[in-house]
Amino acid sequence: MKNQSLLKRLYNAGQGIRASFLSEMNFRLHIMATLLVLIMLIVTRPDPLWWAILLLVSGLVLTLELINTALEKLIDHMHPDQHAVIGIVKDTLAGAVLLASLIALCVFMAFVIEML
């Protein structure tokens, strides 16, 4: 798979995002939340710093959700049986997404308060 063209690599990345979108409800929810943030940014037209901060935390949540999905699918493929350590790994991945989501929510709330 090395030395693929840029277009092929972009296509592959898009396929990964598509697969996560189709298979993971949480990813779809995070996409909808990000769209809500974008709409709020467009409507309120805040300073560029707010755009940067909100897009950064939203992107972080989406990125972590993609990583979580990829690793969970790999883990399930490699070791489909229940195992205590695998459970901890999956819980930790989910915890990372949750923590990033809570941080993003706090930043969004600060934005809303600032806009009032």
Checking 38-44 for CB contacts under 8 A at 24+ apart, the result is 40/111, 44/115
Catalytic option among 24, 65, 72, 114: 65
Residue 83 phi, psi dihedral angles, 5° rounding? -155, 140
Tell me which amino acid residue 48 is: P
- What separation, in Å, do the N-terminal and C-terminal C-alpha atoms of the chain show? 51
Closest C-alpha among 114, 93, 86 to residue 24:
93
Can you tell me the distance from the alpha carbon of 15 to that of 4, in angstroms, rounded to the nearest whole number?
15
Mark whether 114 is an active-site residue.
no
Can you tell me the distance from the alpha carbon of 98 to that of 92, in angstroms, rounded to the nearest whole number?
10
Active site residues: 65
